[in-house]
Structure 1
Amino acid sequence: MSIEAESTFDVYRDRVDRPLYRLFTEYGLDKRPWLLVGMAANIVARGASLLPPLVLGIAIDAAFTGDQPYALPLVPTAWLPTTAPDVAQFWFSAWLIVGAFAVTAALTWVYGVAANNFAHRVMHDVRTDSYAKMQDLDMTFFDDKQTGEVMSVLNNDATNLERFLDDALQNSVRLGVMLLGIGVILFERNAQLALVTLVVVPGMVLFTYWFMRAVEPRYAAQREAVADLNTRLENALGGIQLVKTTGTEAYETSRVEDTSHDYFRKTLAMLRLNYVYRPGMELFAGIAFAATFVVGGLWIVSGSAPGPLTGELRAGTFVTFLFLTQRFVTPLAEVSNIVSQYENAKASCERVFGLQDIPARVTDAEDAVELDGVEGHIEYDHVDFAYDGEDDLVLRDVDFAVDPGETVALVGPTGAGKSTLLKLLMRLYDVDDGAVRIDGRDVREVTLRSLRESVGYVSQDTYLFDGTVAENIRYGRFDADDEAVREAARAAEAHEFIENLPNGYDTRIGERGVKLSGGQRQRLSIARVVLQDPDVLVLDEATSAVDTETELLIQRSLDRLAADRTTFVIAHRLSTVKDADEVLVLEGGEVVERGEHEELLAADGLYAKLWGVQAGEIESLPEEFVERARERQAELAGPSGDD
């Protein structure tokens, strides 16, 4: 499945302006001591690495041949040896070269440590801030966004930024220092030959500009392909049981192959430019070296300046030129890597800030208050709701009230809006019109944390983390002691099977609790809510994944949990809700019936028909009703997964 072309994420990503500048201003300023130390050490280290070729050339002309006095640029003559030039100047040059290599090594270590600290600290903050932002986003974002793409932002894109800050940034400084230092030394030694050596630089600049313009869109396309591939792999691995039980391994392999091939094509399209650029830069550098060798060599061999050149060229100066021109080749050839990392980081930076810029709509109001001392009076006041980007209302003019301690059952066909109705209570979504109130206070007026701490939610889709049984029960109440965890498990009819696990409460249950049965996972989720001890309880198909015997055990624990607290129950098995204080029957997002079980049976409406179906009385129903019910369920079953 391809990522939607113009999702909310795409829109905000495209709006990101100067992403790398923003990265430095938002994440780099408070870490700039590490950056500055790394930059300074890098500059001095690269400068020191240029000293040996310069000293070697001077030593050849002064200490070895005696053609000229021993002199170093910017160094006072009084500091240099002037006696016994064939010995003192030789050893001075030797120690100077050794010292230059030692300084280069030491400062290279310093800049490596500082640069890595800077890069990894930035990456850490980017990743954690992006995750925190993702946590704040509305459920609407997760309804539309694929997990693999979000994982790509949190992992791959953050890693790309770290590589840029650690490698490309420091290599850019190194390249700049090398080019500037080499240029200064060459011009100081012989300006005319330096012009010959550097004549290719304008061509290199134009070639680099073309490469950057051409490669940028290809990097953006590659990042999208990475996100698609991550999504495909995440979906395939997450549904491995379905794949195996349906024998569709070949089908899933072909889908991964198609997505991987798309990533391969886009990566290759990007690499093709690198295959042109890097050899092209090496060719330019090679031309510079060849031109230097030919012109300088003729100058030395003939003893006179060739062509329009004038003056004298000494052997030591020519050696310095050859060494430094070779130094010139390597950093220029690395420009392609720097540009690649820059474009990759720019694309990743746009995705990171695109995620961070998406506004969260369900947030605390500025004057939000804590919700405490909840009695449990719940009111839905003429509520309308539609999912973001959709025109059709999922809920329409829903209006009812629940007294403290009552149990209300929500029943109706698949897609009627039952789960969505209760998600509004917890502000997983906000109403489009009307209001949801707890104890007379609009849920939008209280803090999200206090609201959700007051509402316990047991979903039909039980989620457990990879960890121990105790850690999963304690989730949300991390300070609970072992005895409280055991008491919660007993209340959820889970203690006995937990004790029979290999390590009891310390048994690791695997990702999503794969080592447990559906009924065991459901009982752990109930134990988690028992430990939470909420004021309001929401049970969304809490017994949907268990057999009849387990359902009776769980129902007994749920009855204890629901006692003396306001409880909402969504159930397809109407036998589990017939004792509710009130039953609300939803169809097409509207409350079409309400009342107690016996009242609704006597009314002979939709509830009575649903009850009759489950009671085995399908034969007595008119054929037109069965057909209408089937058509209605098919019509209402939407992509939201709502029951």
Structure 2
Amino acid sequence: MSTDEETPFDRYRQQVDRPLSRLFREYGLERKPWLVVGLVANLLAQMASLLPPVVLGSAVDALFRGDAQYTLPLVPQSWIPQGTVEQFWFSVALIAGSFVAAAVFTWIYGVVANFFAHGVMHEVRSDSFEKMLRLDAAFFDDKQTGEVMSILSNDAQNLELFLDDALMNGTRLVAMVLGITAILFVLNPQLAVVTLAAVPVMIAFTWWFMRAIEPRYEDRQSAVAEFNTRIENGISGVDLAKTTASEGYEASQVRDASRGVFESIMAVLRLAYFYRPGMELLAGLSFAATFLVGGYWILFGDLRVGVFVTFVFMTQRFVAPLAEVSSIVDQTQNAMVSASRVFGLMDIPVRIEDDEDAVVLDDPAGSVEYEDVCFDYPDLLAEMAAEAEAESDAGASPTAAQADGGTVAGADGGDPFGTADDEDGYVVEDVSVTADPGDTVAFVGSTGAGKSTLCRLLLRLYDVDEGAVKVDGTDVRDIELASLREHVGYVSQEAFLFDGTIADNIRYGRFDESDEAVVEAARAAEAHEFITGLPDGYETRVGERGVKLSGGQRQRIAIARVVLQDPEILVLDEATSDVDTDTEQRIQSSLDALTEDRTTFVVAHRLSTVVGADRIVVLEDGRVVERGTHDELRERDGRYAELWNAQTGSV
């Protein structure tokens, strides 16, 4: 990815140190007993599976050929029966018992390993989603939905495969290699050297493969995230694509992103399919060398047939795990990249959060003051680089800045992640506005003048660069976020509904409210009539993002939601933009009753909706150019009068 395309998410992902170690440290330690039980059971299962070839080799020499004493490595001779028939049945019992033990311990480690892996991933998914909810609004202004979806689905699945398969298979491989090595050296050190000669070459080959394939996995994960983003954008904008006859363009965008996934996967597979046959070849050569040298020593030396049989079986057991190294490395490298992406998300700092001494906003009167407010959208990447340099100059580690880094950014036309130009000035500059309890203040002006930004600063979705926004004389940065937003009701121009029932969407945020309260809120928002006209009434499911309802219907449900919230401060950001004139008049009547005893901020392009406001603030290029009542502003014949005349056709 080029520097121009780099995002703050990429920067934090690249700073994650030893991601798999961190995964175990932060999520595995609390489940350590399960992991230990799984690993021990896995080791015991592998040890049990190695016993039959050893028993068979001893039985061949002692029972069938009769040219050697019946012995077993690490087993006291006093434990072994003396008679031939007894030794035969002893061998049968050992072989059968080893298979039973291997099956039992395999079942135990399978169950425990899955419990450990899925438990860890449950916490990772939950924490990732919780962190995503806590991230500043600036993160989502960059439309990184596809990245988050990829982390919660693809990356979590990769980690799950690693914890469930690669970890246990790796343990099994180590146990098999060490166990087989020990047995072979006990039986015949010279032949063991021949059998194991390929192991150092395999280790070096694996080390090279791991280093070579890691960047290819990173490219693949990035390509998958880009593809997810394209898909999400295409589905969300399907109506726009259809109405502008742009289906071909969207299809080509997805096709290009899919091609990127294809090429990145093939880059991984080309290297993987070079590595896997290479490992199998080395393992096969090890088996061939064992057969060649061992067979020669039987014919022309003193190697016993039983020992040779044990070596042949052990080498075959050796080949299979070594051939699986490619899959283990594949899953491990994949998990390393995925873990770095998960913790990259976790490490993105949250700057909009409660101060240690934050106060609770309890039963506010509702006065609001914007005091010399200035706000702009900074270059986050540049800020991160500056913070890292400052930390470096102070002698701190590169990752120390992660705890305090970050910035704010937002809507109303800015680019929060890396393209804003400081020379353009503030989006909002030197704005001072006061609203007494119960006042209605309207923000009007051209698109991009900063109206919505001022409302979002009140909710503290972003923090001001200079000045302050105060509620009842207290800076919102000193107020507990939950209590601030509990007392500020917000209706945006784009009313969002979750896929659920109408009643659930009205009740959202006030989940314990009664059905009667929901109905009363709907009546106040002029929504009750259309809701009761639906087949399932308040239990009608609205579909994803409320697609089964019209824009005006969604808007009225959003207003009903705020009515149910019953806040002391109300923010209406183009709240009636998607309704017809008749419905707007009825909603406006209800809103007049709702705003009568509340401090209300109204953002409106339709100036007819703010005629009765106690104060109208006219904004241009982020600055206040006029303020006053409707009549006062018309008499001044300034910018407001110009806007009014343009909308009403007055001269």
TM-score for both structures, normalised by structure 2: 0.92
Residue type of the alignment partner of 2:262: F
Q: Distance in 2 between matches of 1:359 and 1:145?
A: 17
Pick from 345, 350, 373: which aligns with 1:360?
350
Residue of structure 2 in register with 1:397 after alignment: 430
Q: Distance in 2 between matches of 1:110 and 1:24?
A: 21
3-state SS of 1:586 partner: strand
Residue of structure 1 in register with 2:525 after alignment: 492
Q: Distance in 2 between matches of 1:245 and 1:331?
A: 57
3-state SS of 1:199 partner: coil
Residue type of the alignment partner of 2:474: R
Q: Distance in 1 between matches of 2:246 and 2:466?
A: 45
Pick from 188, 191, 195: which aligns with 1:190?
188
Q: 1:381 to 1:470 in 2, by over 3 A?
A: same
Residue of structure 1 in register with 2:326 after alignment: 336
Matched ranges for 1:172-251 at <5 A: 172-251=170-249
CA contact (8 A) 1:296 1:313 kept: yes
- Stretch deviating more after TM superposition (70-79 or 287-296): 70-79
Residue type of the alignment partner of 2:338: S
After superposition, the C-alpha distances for 1:112-162 in whole angstroms (9 at most, x for unaligned) are 111111111111111111111111111111112411011111221122111
Residue of structure 2 in register with 1:307 after alignment: none
Deviation at 1:321, TM superposition (A): 0.8
Deviation at 1:198, TM superposition (A): 0.8
Residue of structure 2 in register with 1:346 after alignment: 336
Residue of structure 2 in register with 1:580 after alignment: 613
Deviation at 1:301, TM superposition (A): 2.6
Whether 1:376 and 2:366 are equivalent positions in the alignment is yes
Deviation at 1:92, TM superposition (A): 1.3
Which ranges of structure 2 fall in alignment gaps of 5 or more residues?
380-419
Residue of structure 1 in register with 2:488 after alignment: 455
Q: Distance in 2 between matches of 1:559 and 1:107?
A: 72
Residue of structure 2 in register with 1:58 after alignment: 58
Aligned positions, number: 608
Matched ranges for 1:497-508 at <5 A: 497-508=530-541
Residue type of the alignment partner of 2:118: H
Q: Distance in 1 between matches of 2:498 and 2:63?
A: 74
Residue of structure 1 in register with 2:415 after alignment: none
Residue of structure 2 in register with 1:10 after alignment: 10
Residue of structure 1 in register with 2:545 after alignment: 512
Pick from 427, 441, 457: which aligns with 1:424?
457
Residue of structure 2 in register with 1:637 after alignment: none
Residue of structure 1 in register with 2:281 after alignment: 283
Residue type of the alignment partner of 2:518: V
Which ranges of structure 1 fall in alignment gaps of 5 or more residues?
305-311, 621-643
Q: Distance in 1 between matches of 2:79 and 2:144?
A: 68
Residue of structure 2 in register with 1:571 after alignment: 604
Matched ranges for 1:18-37 at <5 A: 18-37=18-37
Q: Distance in 2 between matches of 1:199 and 1:28?
A: 36
Q: Distance in 1 between matches of 2:431 and 2:113?
A: 59
Pick from 305, 311, 314: which aligns with 1:324?
314
Deviation at 1:499, TM superposition (A): 1.2
Q: Distance in 2 between matches of 1:399 and 1:109?
A: 70
Residue type of the alignment partner of 1:401: T
TM-score for both structures, normalised by structure 1: 0.93
Deviation at 1:4, TM superposition (A): 6.0
Residue type of the alignment partner of 2:111: V
Pick from 108, 111, 119: which aligns with 1:110?
108
Q: Distance in 1 between matches of 2:97 and 2:156?
A: 39
Whether 1:593 and 2:626 are equivalent positions in the alignment is yes
Q: Distance in 2 between matches of 1:561 and 1:241?
A: 34
CA contact (8 A) 1:140 1:388 kept: no
Residue of structure 2 in register with 1:273 after alignment: 271
CA contact (8 A) 1:518 1:545 kept: yes
Whether 1:466 and 2:499 are equivalent positions in the alignment is yes
Q: Distance in 2 between matches of 1:148 and 1:597?
A: 45
Residue type of the alignment partner of 2:508: Y
Backbone CA RMSD of aligned residues: 1.3
Residue of structure 2 in register with 1:476 after alignment: 509
Q: Segments of 4+ in structure 1 off by > 4 A?
A: 1-4
Residue of structure 2 in register with 1:414 after alignment: 447
- Stretch deviating more after TM superposition (129-138 or 510-519): 129-138
After superposition, the C-alpha distances for 1:522-547 in whole angstroms (9 at most, x for unaligned) are 11101100110001000000111111
Deviation at 1:557, TM superposition (A): 2.0
Q: Distance in 2 between matches of 1:435 and 1:43?
A: 63
Q: Distance in 2 between matches of 1:448 and 1:413?
A: 30
Residue type of the alignment partner of 1:30: E
Q: Distance in 2 between matches of 1:91 and 1:244?
A: 78
Deviation at 1:358, TM superposition (A): 1.3
Q: Distance in 1 between matches of 2:4 and 2:309?
A: 60
Residue type of the alignment partner of 1:225: A
Residue type of the alignment partner of 1:286: G
Whether 1:81 and 2:114 are equivalent positions in the alignment is no
Residue of structure 1 in register with 2:169 after alignment: 171
3-state SS of 2:434 partner: strand
Deviation at 1:388, TM superposition (A): 2.9
Q: Distance in 2 between matches of 1:46 and 1:549?
A: 77
CA contact (8 A) 1:458 1:540 kept: yes
- Stretch deviating more after TM superposition (410-419 or 382-391): 382-391
Matched ranges for 1:524-543 at <5 A: 524-543=557-576
CA contact (8 A) 1:2 1:228 kept: no
Pick from 156, 159, 170: which aligns with 1:158?
156
Residue type of the alignment partner of 2:636: A
- Stretch deviating more after TM superposition (406-415 or 351-360): 351-360
Percent of paired sites with the same residue:
64
3-state SS of 2:68 partner: coil
After superposition, the C-alpha distances for 1:155-191 in whole angstroms (9 at most, x for unaligned) are 2112211111111111110000000111111111111
Residue of structure 2 in register with 1:92 after alignment: 90
After superposition, the C-alpha distances for 1:501-535 in whole angstroms (9 at most, x for unaligned) are 12111111100111111111111101100110001
CA contact (8 A) 1:149 1:230 kept: yes
Deviation at 1:437, TM superposition (A): 0.5
Residue of structure 2 in register with 1:309 after alignment: none
Q: Distance in 2 between matches of 1:5 and 1:127?
A: 27
CA contact (8 A) 1:140 1:387 kept: no
Q: Distance in 2 between matches of 1:90 and 1:206?
A: 44
Q: Distance in 2 between matches of 1:574 and 1:192?
A: 95
Q: Distance in 2 between matches of 1:452 and 1:3?
A: 37
Residue type of the alignment partner of 2:205: F
